[in-house]
Amino acid sequence: MTPDSDREHVFSDTRPRDLPARLRNPDDTEAWGVFETRYAKRVYNVGRRNGLSHHEADELAQRVRLAVAKAVGTYDPVRCRFRTWLWGVVLRRFHEVLRLRRVRDIPPVEPPEAVSESEQSEEMNEPTEACVPPDLDALFREEERVYLVEETLKELKRAVRPIDYEIFYAKRMLDKSAKGVAEAFGKSVSNVDVITSRVQKVFEGMYRTVVFEYEHGRPPSRPSE
């Protein structure tokens, strides 16, 4: 079974604890591939979910890449986790993109009368702060959870019968009623429940493995027989 390119990057030999040090080398394509899959795509998604256009979210992700490349050498693992440090970088770049939007939307006008620095600060910061999500870290955690579920579903689809996967997906992922799924697939309600329960157990085991690989950069060790 050949993994897709994203999975090769995420589940390579680059462990999370090693990633910041390796990102200091701009030529480490494997480490930057891991960063792209593990974080950059989540940055884009969070931007889109919080009011940014496609181009703004893409610009946000690009600004974060550049900022990380410049500043990753300042990251101190003793002070905080890399993800915590990264989200601080994202938040500052989020401010920048919103400020750029505000500037672009202002039509040319005659120079205004002089105002105090405090008034200028209030004018610039209030609308920007109001647009910043109250808990950006929670949003990124949700993006990671969605990503890991998607990766698990890819594995699940290869591991169970197509009909069983479709029934499970409709019932669990799309939240369809057992009766509706039964009618759609020509099964009895009890049969749908049995299939869903069986596939659910497979999914849960695979999800635990995917999460472990994502966090540790390697498959979990098998217990000795």
Domain locations in the chain as residue ranges: 5-135, 160-216
pLDDT, block means (10 residues), the chain with 225 residues: 43 62 90 86 84 90 92 86 83 87 62 44 34 58 82 93 96 93 95 96 93 72 57
Which pLDDT belongs to residue 126?
32
Query: Radius of gyration of the chain from Cα atoms?
Result: 23
Q: Look up residue 205 and give its amino acid.
A: G
Tell me how crowded residue 205 is: count the other CB atoms within 10 A of its CB: 13
15: left (phi over 0), alpha (psi -120 to 50) or beta: beta
Whole-angstrom Cα distance, residue 210 to residue 140? 18
Q: Give the residue among 186, 184, 86 at the shortest CA–CA distance from 136.
A: 86
Which pLDDT belongs to residue 189?
95
Tell me how crowded residue 10 is: count the other CB atoms within 10 A of its CB: 22
Q: Is 133 strand, coil or helix?
A: coil
Which pLDDT belongs to residue 136?
63
Kind and range of the H or E run holding 29: helix 29-35
Which pLDDT belongs to residue 217?
61
Which pLDDT belongs to residue 218?
65
Q: Give the residue among 34, 127, 132 at the shortest CA–CA distance from 88.
A: 132
Which pLDDT belongs to residue 135?
62
Query: pTM of the full predicted structure?
Result: 0.58
